[in-house]
Amino acid sequence: MSPSKLIAGVFAALAAFAAVPAAAQHAKYLVTTEWLEKNLNDPGLRVVEVSVNPGLFERGHIPGASNVSWHTDLVDTVSRDIAPPAQFQAVLARAGINADTTTILYGDNNNWFAAWGAWIFDIYGIENVKILDGGRKKWEAEGRPLSNSARIQPAGNAQVKPANAALRAHLQDVLAVARKDRQGVLVDIRSADEYNGKIFAPNGVPELAVRAGHVPGAVNVTWSKLVAEDGTFKSADELKAIYQAAGVDGSKPIITYCRIGERSSHSWFALRKLLGYDVRNYDGSWTEYGNSVGSPISNPSGTVWGKT
């Protein structure tokens, strides 16, 4: 064998070796539609739908799935907070999730709210949680089975752990990075028009801020860049390249945010679970930050509330 071919072979082997951990991350935290359909009758498996559109679960869902409402089950509706421990414990019991259960989350809107669910599960230390890659969109597009009958599961015994504060960012954390009092990278995952202040929020959404724009210093990596046409996550190498192009390489702590925290949980999942970076999700997001008195903003479009 020639030296050039030997060297090429060594580099190819190294590249293949380096790709294994990245591929393993995808396999650890994602399942395919094909795999899930084959394993629906596994007694150690629980499937949970977390969608935003009301009535979607009732019109048809993956057979055996439990329904978890993002609006009521996974949040504290009084305090605008994540679900408190006792409330989330009841969700786990109702869904039949045990300590050794493998839980598969899926939903509509490219798994935005399923990713929010994965974030909440992670905060409370529930293990063996995966997302159905492509969510409802891919499952339905492939003509896989749907059911409109609810299955009552035996009460689950999984126990919540103390909330992991390292996964969640608050307003003061974002301000500290924006003011350069703390090292970190802010990733705004909203559309370019939202980031630049051209619009206050996507059309038809009720949650608004009185200011448009973004947190000073934040980079814009729209969530939709992370997925393929069928809603599945892109490969780890593709994800790394997307973020590196925006100056995000995992060398500094990352905070993701959007408007209310659901789209940013999708990016949090990609950055933390699929790439292994140190990431927190700021669920207060722009509806809190943009409305908070004294918080600096960047608004390249110069839009003013009431004059658009």
Which strand ranges, in their side-by-side order, compose the sheet holding 129-132? Answer: 30-31, 129-132, 102-106, 45-49, 66-67
> Residue 76 has which token pair?
């504290």
CA-to-CA separations, 161 to 85, 88, 173, 260, 280, in angstroms, rounded: 8, 11, 23, 25, 18
pLDDT tens digits, one per residue of 86-126: 999 999 999 999 999 999 999 999 999 999 999 999 999 99
Domain that holds residue 42: 22-163
Same domain for 151 and 26, yes or no, is: yes
pLDDT bucket at 149, cuts 50 / 70 / 90: confident
In the predicted model, is pLDDT for residue 54 greater than 70? yes
Same domain for 230 and 101, yes or no, is: no
Residue that finishes a domain, picked among 131, 147, 163: 163
Q: Greatest CA separation found in the chain? A: 73
Q: In this predicted structure, what is the pLDDT of residue 21? A: 53
Same domain for 262 and 215, yes or no, is: yes
Higher pLDDT, 306 or 181: 181
**Does any domain span residue 84?**
yes
Catalytic annotation on 37? no
> Residue 129 has which token pair?
């949680």
Q: How far, in Å, CA of 200 to CA of 88, rounded?
A: 32
Q: What are phi and psi of 290, to 5 degrees?
A: -65, -20
Q: What is the CATH number of the domain that holds 59?
A: 3.40.250.10
Which is the catalytic residue, given 47, 62, 226, 258? 258
Helix 236-245 and helix 3-29, axial crossing angle in degrees, nearest 10: 90
